[in-house]
Structure 1
């Protein structure tokens, strides 16, 4: 049984199209758990009327991604059928997937277990543009890179070279997690990672516990890039960049990145300084490139 956990907030149309993709899956042993964290746009009514089979849990708007996801996982744990193998699939609503998506995830798990299985992300408007294919990083100086670079951000090039990528972390945007992993290492850390990096931190814990982190080339998530929140690569102003250091919605939130450095890096505060230095340098370099004449 796969329990698909989707946290949502005021994105009714994205939620609707995501649910439509999931209900068309060829693999049928799954349930969908939507955690609606205080939506005011009629998301809950739409789900109840159009997808009555979906388990709908509600929050008050203060759960954010991490605790909303944990709520869905706890529900799945409480209703778990111990006579079969059980999984959690974390997924965001601003995505769509192919009808064979769940089957490809299970096939990869069967091949590479014990593991967590992540998804390839491509641009929904340009499906050959590779947005995510795993990451590599080290825990001393915060250096690392996106493995999509190895394939020139080209999905056709990736599948020409390999059927999977082994990653150092996995995002919550399409990751299949055996239920036993939660029993072993706990849930997502909603105390230290309210919205961002809880997925990365969880996958790092899982890797330390001996689980491989596999990104399966056949498991595609079509990502609505413009809807994924604050994008550190986009053209943002200096004020927006600085505000990102304190925003819950920002992947560059200083508290979150400090918590990760202290919990998982080899050099603690030094790692944190390297990490923030890398983020600032990246922002400056992007500004310099924009200033250069064509």
Structure 2
């Protein structure tokens, strides 16, 4: 059994498309748990009318990604019949998947067990544009190398010529298949320190330290609605917007989040933080001067 947990908030149009894709899966042994974190756009009514088989958990709007995902996981652990041979799939609602997606995830996990399996991602409007295909991490110097860029030049055509399973140092929560046994060994996502961003990276790093391998399956594809991915820094980002982003929960450069990540995972926190902050501030200046 695969338990698919999807946290949502006021994105009814994306949630509908995501759930419709899951209805078409060739693998039928799964349950979907949607955590509706205080949506006010009619999401609750849509779920009840169009997807009555979906289990719905609710929040007040303060759960964010990690809290919402954890609420769904707790519902599975506390209320549903499951065992250590089952899996949980963390999935975002701004994605769409093909009919063999769950089938291929299971095949990958069985081929590489014990492991967590991540998904590659492509732009839904430009499927040949590869967005994610694994990550190399140097925790000493805060260096995250995006393999979609450095190895495959953002070209899906290059990826398909490589092995089916690619090792990765961490995984995103945008299509991460997790054996239920992992939660018993390392706990849930850390919503205390990583309420939104980096909760998935922290979780997958902890799983790797506990002995679970991490792979990206190249035949497990999520199609991303890139316009819905949240805060993106660009050349047009003003100094005020950049400053606000350093403290915003939904921001990938939130300083508190980056500090806790360094404290927990870096072998030498001062060195890591120095390089991490240099990349954040240097990246902003570089984009402004381009």
The TM-score, its normalising length taken from structure 1, stands at 0.96
Give the conservation status (yes or no) of the 8 Å contact 1:80–1:86: no
Q: CA deviation at 1:181?
A: 0.2
Aligned to 2:136: 136
Give the conservation status (yes or no) of the 8 Å contact 1:258–1:269: no
Q: CA deviation at 1:267?
A: 0.7
Aligned to 1:145: 145
Give the conservation status (yes or no) of the 8 Å contact 1:92–1:173: yes
Q: CA deviation at 1:101?
A: 0.3
> How many residue pairs get matched?
289
1:191 corresponds to 2:192: yes
Give the conservation status (yes or no) of the 8 Å contact 2:7–2:34: yes
Q: How far, CA to CA, are the matches of 1:52 and 1:132 in structure 2?
A: 33
Cα deviations across residues 185-231 of structure 1 (Å, max 9, x unaligned)?
00000110111111110001001111111000000000001100012
Cα deviations across residues 118-148 of structure 1 (Å, max 9, x unaligned)?
0000000000100001111111111231011
Q: CA deviation at 1:165?
A: 1.3
Q: CA deviation at 1:78?
A: 1.8
The TM-score, its normalising length taken from structure 2, stands at 0.97
Q: CA deviation at 1:233?
A: 5.1
Aligned to 2:40: 40
The alignment partner of 1:144 has SS state of strand
Q: How far, CA to CA, are the matches of 1:64 and 1:283 in structure 2?
A: 26
Q: Out of 22-31 and 75-84, give the one that drifted further.
A: 75-84
Cα deviations across residues 8-33 of structure 1 (Å, max 9, x unaligned)?
00000100000000011000000000
Aligned to 2:114: 114
> For the structure 1 residues 49 and 35, does the alpha-carbon distance in structure 2 shift closer, same or farther, using more than 3 Å as the test?
same
Q: CA deviation at 1:80?
A: 4.2
Q: How far, CA to CA, are the matches of 1:234 and 1:98 in structure 2?
A: 34
Q: How far, CA to CA, are the matches of 2:169 and 2:224 in structure 1?
A: 21
Q: CA deviation at 1:44?
A: 0.6
Q: CA deviation at 1:236?
A: 2.0
Q: How far, CA to CA, are the matches of 2:40 and 2:96 in structure 1?
A: 23
Gaps of at least 5 residues in structure 2 are: none
Aligned to 1:29: 29
Cα deviations across residues 217-262 of structure 1 (Å, max 9, x unaligned)?
0000000011000123574222211111100010100000000000
Q: How far, CA to CA, are the matches of 2:268 and 2:82 in structure 1?
A: 41
Give the conservation status (yes or no) of the 8 Å contact 2:83–2:180: no
Aligned to 1:231: 232
